[in-house]
Every structure is written in C-alpha cells, then in structure tokens.
Amino acid sequence: MNRRWGVGGFLLSAWLLSGCALSSPTARLDAYLGPVSAPDRSAEVCVPRDAGLLVVHDTTGKGSLPPQSVDGLRSLSARIKLLVERALPLNVVKIAMPVADAVDTPTVLWKRVAEEQGVGALLLAVVSVVEVTGADQFPFDGTQEGGGAMGVLPGRWASDYALVELGLLDTKGDRLLARAEGRGSATLEQLATDLSSNAYPVIRQPGNARRIFPPRDGSAPQSLVAVVAIEEALGQALDKLPRCSGR
C-alpha cells in the first residue's frame, strides 16, 4: 500500500533555496529520546502491538514559528494516529495531550507520558517549523509560466520549512524500535496592495504546479502554510518507516 500522504520567478526561487539552506529546522528527536538504544533494523517493529502517541511542537530552533494551537496539535495527533496505523501494525490506544514549547527536561517527557498512559510502546512525534519572509513582484494572473506578461504586482512571501521526526519506543526496555524523519515546505504569496485578486493569496510548493488557495472567510492564510508544510514532512517520514508485510 502506498503510504505517502498526498496532502515565482527566478529571483524568488533563488531566495527560497537560500532560505531553505539557512533555515531548515534542526533535528531535535535525540534531545527528547535521551539515552535509549538505537534501532537494530530487526523485524520486531512489525510485531503487532498497542501503543501510545505523543506529539511535541519544538520551538527552540532559530526562526521557529510559535507553536500550533492546541486544536491544531490535536488534529495533527489524530492524523498521525490514522496514518501510522496504516503504515505499521500499531493500535494507538492512547493519545497524550500534545505539548508545545517542551524545553524543560525534555528527555524525561516521554517516560512520564508512557507511565501515565500505561503503555508498553510509545510513538513520539517531534514537529519543528521555521519561517523565512521577503518581498517580490508577482505575476498579475498568478501563473508562473507566463513570466509576468500581463504585468506584475508588489507582494510579500513567507516560506515555512517543516521537519517531522518519528520515534517508536519500547517503553519497558528503553529501546528505540524505529525512527524516521521527513521534511516539507510551502510558500505563501500575498499582494502588498488592497487590490482584490482571484490569484492571491496563494500557497505553492516546490516542484508542484498545484496551487492552494486559502479560504476566503477572513481567517489568516499564514496559519495554513505551516499546515501544508507539516503535512508533506509527515508523509515523507511515514514513507521512511520500516515496511511490514501486507502494508
């Protein structure tokens, strides 16, 4: 089964690549794991088992966005549960309250949660998102193929870079059964004028011609950019988990 979750111009591309190089989130899973044994690539990860789930939004990296809302983190936890149960023979029976800004004694966090949940296995998901912003000129019609033949408009862009790290823990033996990580990005383009446009605001992803238009209900489109980037990163992380027979 395929487990992938399918959730402007030259100068902008150059800036985005530069921003990605400077602001890619730093891996943080090890800071939360503490002293546990590394996975040995055994088939033990494919043994059916009940498990708990803990999602942490880490905001300690330079340029990190504020943590997702409680509702947003709960929604992410539910989505991870659904997808990881498709990827591995796990039955997620407990979902801990998601944690944001977990900077105090992070290495004992998962142990405390596992003890509270009374589970023998725990899936720890650490989410990190950083943002880079800038100004540019955008094609009037919103397409990148025309090169601005219909004119350009001043605007601003915000690129979010997400990292999702997954660790499946044997909580009784302090062992790491499996780990995987995935990265994703998304860019919001908005006009700097009050001109009404059907083409903006718009969210784009590198290598994907599809355009995502935020709802026009007055909600801030910035919140959706991080969600799109996290979704891509989560899909990549799930694809890198060990493959078990029949899945």
pLDDT tens for each residue of 44-100? 888 999 999 999 999 888 888 888 888 989 999 999 999 999 999 999 999 999 988
Banded pLDDT at 24 (limits 50, 70, 90): confident
Helices (H), the chain: 10-23, 29-33, 70-87, 109-117, 222-239
pLDDT at position 93: 96
Report percent pLDDT > 90 for the chain: 49
Strand partners, 52: 94, 122
Rounded mean pLDDT of 181-200?
88
Confidence of residue 147 (pLDDT cuts 50, 70, 90): low
Q: Is-contact 153 140, C-beta < 8 A? A: yes
Question: What is the rounded distance in angstroms from the CA atom of residue 96 to the CA atom of residue 109?
Answer: 11
Q: How far apart are the first and last CA of the chain?
A: 5
Cβ(183)–Cβ(233) under 8 Å? yes
- For residue 223, what pLDDT is reported? 83
pLDDT of residue 149: 57
Kindly state the tokens that stand for 211.
């355009």
User: What is the token pair recorded at 127?
Assistant: 């989410």
Report yes or no: 172 and 117 within 8 Å, Cβ to Cβ. no
Copy the structure tokens of residue 124. 């720890």
